[in-house]
């Protein structure tokens, strides 16, 4: 039985907590959060303990699950590693490559498992697309497009809007797509990107990123924090023998529209895509099972760092207007 402590009692902390509650080989011990009240509220919701400090929580657990804003990851990881605790850390692993390196070093030295929560690998549409690609379903991939985003995200202290903390949608959001692209199609050769990130706009950001992969395929990634029409994801993998296309808008098996109270008028139709196995649950199960079996998880900390490297290259391209080549020693 793996004892689990979650740091960060926001949306992702709760999502992860629900998963641990269902696992037979893990036990959620409690939460800690920079905002003590938030930790208390969430802890009581799950019937677990709220810790006043991270250090206090570390003493009572075998692993920590880090669901806090990106720049806090380094210190939390280093402390957990030196306390000999295994670590599941939200993406992006670090705000900088140096931070990622320090985390990897610390985890290796302490002999603990460090896995970045690149949960997209557990989303069935993305996992299936990769399986199909590897099985040759589209032949050799030539042009890949992904789109992710919706309204500007809101969170505690509006931290997404602080580029120094979040890295904007390129680092915070489409890091998912970068990781999936690497996992599915291999390493990135060069990146060119344009974005609204540094234009001083109020709560609107948008980026279009073009990449040349080492395989010679061309990939185009859209990062959208400028769409009031709701969160959408799509991808298209076109190869020399076929194409795979996915659009979250057309993959909704259930839509419910409720009459407004009092009748008449227009309600809003809410689409849903229910799954028997929640991707977050699969991710956490994989981590817990790997730790208990003493095996390396399928997503390594190095994978987390590589995804950060691609994102930072895209941001550098936005800043400089230049093509950024990867793998030149980061």
DSSP 258: P
Q: Measure the CA–CA gap between 290 and 113, rounded to whole angstroms.
A: 9
Q: Measure the CA–CA gap between 76 and 93, rounded to whole angstroms.
A: 11
Q: Is 46 in the site for another protein (CB under 8 A)?
A: no
Q: Is 220 in the site for another protein (CB under 8 A)?
A: yes
Q: Is 206 in the site for another protein (CB under 8 A)?
A: yes
Which residue in the set 114, 217, 299, 312 belongs to the binding site for another protein (CB under 8 A)?
217
Sheet (strand 141-149) strand order: 242-247, 232-239, 141-149, 218-225, 205-213, 188-195, 324-325
Query: How far apart, in Å, are the Cα atoms of 236 and each of 85, 150, 293?
Result: 40, 18, 36
- The bridge status of strand 205-213 relative to strand 218-225 is antiparallel
Which residue in the set 88, 115, 171, 238 belongs to the binding site for another protein (CB under 8 A)?
238
- Among 25-33, 43-51, 81-89, 202-210, which window interacts with another protein (CB under 8 A)? 202-210
Q: Is 145 in the site for another protein (CB under 8 A)?
A: yes
Quick check: 179 and 118 in contact, CB under 8 A? Answer: yes
Which residue in the set 79, 194, 246, 292 belongs to the binding site for another protein (CB under 8 A)?
194
Q: Measure the CA–CA gap between 61 and 93, rounded to whole angstroms.
A: 21
Quick check: 206 and 226 in contact, CB under 8 A? Answer: yes
Q: Is 179 in the site for another protein (CB under 8 A)?
A: no
**Residue placing its CB nearer to another protein in the complex, 31 or 206:** 206
Q: Is 168 in the site for another protein (CB under 8 A)?
A: no
CB of 148 to another protein, least distance (A): 13
Which residue in the set 143, 155, 257, 269 belongs to the binding site for another protein (CB under 8 A)?
143
Q: Is 208 in the site for another protein (CB under 8 A)?
A: yes
CB of 322 to another protein, least distance (A): 7
Q: Measure the CA–CA gap between 17 and 281, rounded to whole angstroms.
A: 9
Contacts to another protein by CB under 8 A: 140-143, 145, 190, 192, 194, 196, 199, 201, 204, 206, 208, 210-212, 216-218, 220, 222, 224, 226-229, 238-240, 242-243, 321-323
């Amino acid at each position: 039985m793996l004892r689990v402590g979650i740091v960060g009692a926001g949306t992702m902390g709760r999502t992860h907590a629900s998963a641990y509650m269902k696992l037979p080989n893990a036990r959620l011990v409690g939460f800690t959060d920079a905002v003590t009240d938030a930790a208390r509220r969430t802890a009581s919701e799950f019937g677990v303990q709220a810790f006043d400090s991270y250090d206090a929580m570390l003493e009572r657990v075998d692993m920590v699950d880090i669901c806090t804003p990106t720049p806090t990851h380094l210190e939390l990881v280093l402390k957990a590693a030196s306390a000999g605790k295994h670590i599941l850390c939200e993406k992006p692993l670090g705000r900088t490559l140096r931070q990622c390196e320090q985390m990897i070093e610390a985890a290796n030295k302490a002999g603990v498992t460090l896995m970045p929560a690149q949960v997209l690998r557990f989303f069935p549409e993305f996992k299936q697309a990769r399986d199909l690609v590897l099985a040759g379903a589209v032949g050799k991939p030539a042009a890949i497009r992904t789109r992710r985003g919706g309204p500007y995200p809101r969170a505690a202290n509006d931290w997404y809007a602080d580029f120094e903390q979040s890295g904007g949608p390129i680092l915070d959001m489409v890091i998912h797509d970068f990781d999936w692209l690497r996992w599915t199609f291999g390493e990135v050769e060069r990146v060119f990107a344009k974005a609204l990130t540094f234009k001083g706009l109020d709560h609107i950001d948008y980026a279009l990123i073009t990449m040349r992969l080492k395989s010679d395929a061309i990939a185009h990634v859209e990062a959208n924090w400028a769409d009031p029409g709701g969160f959408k994801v799509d991808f298209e993998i076109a190869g020399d023998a076929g194409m795979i296309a996915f659009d979250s808008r057309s993959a909704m098996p259930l839509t419910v529209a409720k009459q407004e109270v009092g009748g008449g008028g227009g309600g809003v139709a809410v689409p849903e895509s229910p799954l028997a196995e929640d991707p977050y649950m699969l991710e956490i199960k994989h981590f817990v099972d790997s730790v208990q079996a003493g095996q390396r998880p399928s997503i390594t900390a190095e994978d987390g760092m590589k995804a950060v490297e691609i994102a930072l290259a895209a941001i550098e391209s936005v800043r400089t207007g230049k093509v950024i080549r990867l793998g030149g020693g980061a």
